């Protein structure tokens, strides 16, 4: 599977360790989810060309990591274990790396067309490791 956003300098990498709202300045970065107390990350309002890559650095234990879009939807599909769920109905707004199931290295890549966020790459080791709702 292609890794569209990996590479570059350390300026393009950021550890997320607490609940936060990303800004346009975070676009293009690899964002490591890295905490012993998991949290929610809110994407910025949709704007054409925004892209984010999330990687689980510390497996969730006791709670789940969530990635939330404030408007628009999350569309596309990603590989989860042996399953490939389809999020094409336009009603999904939350990605969850599930407590007790997600593992280090699970990831998801998003790009925005100005209205919605699209999954352009994603991988979870087990089917229950990531949900999109």
Write the DSSP assignment of 8-65 as a string of letters. S-GGGEEEE-S-EE--GGGTT-EEEE--SS--EEEPPSP-TT-EEEEEESS---SS-E
Predicted pLDDT at 68: 94
Q: What is the pLDDT of residues 85-113, one digit of tens each?
A: 555 566 678 889 999 999 999 999 999 99
Is 128 in a helix, a strand, or coil?
helix
What is the rounded distance in angstroms from the CA atom of residue 127 to the CA atom of residue 42? 23
Element counts in the chain: helices (H) and strands (E):
0, 12
């Amino acid at each position: 599977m292609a890794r569209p956003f990996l590479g570059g300098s350390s300026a393009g990498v950021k550890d997320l360790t607490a609940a936060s709202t990303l800004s346009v300045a975070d676009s293009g970065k690899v964002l490591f989810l890295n905490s012993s107390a998991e949290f929610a990350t809110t994407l910025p309002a949709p704007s054409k060309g925004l892209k984010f890559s999330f990687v689980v650095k510390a497996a969730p234990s006791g709670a789940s990591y969530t990635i939330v879009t404030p408007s628009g939807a999350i569309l596309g599909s990603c590989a989860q274990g042996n399953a490939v769920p389809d999020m094409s109905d336009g009603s999904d707004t939350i990605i969850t790396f599930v407590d007790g199931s997600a593992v280090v290295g699970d990831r998801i890549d998003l790009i925005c067309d100005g209205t919605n966020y699209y999954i352009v790459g994603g991988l979870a080791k087990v089917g229950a490791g990531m949900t999109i709702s």
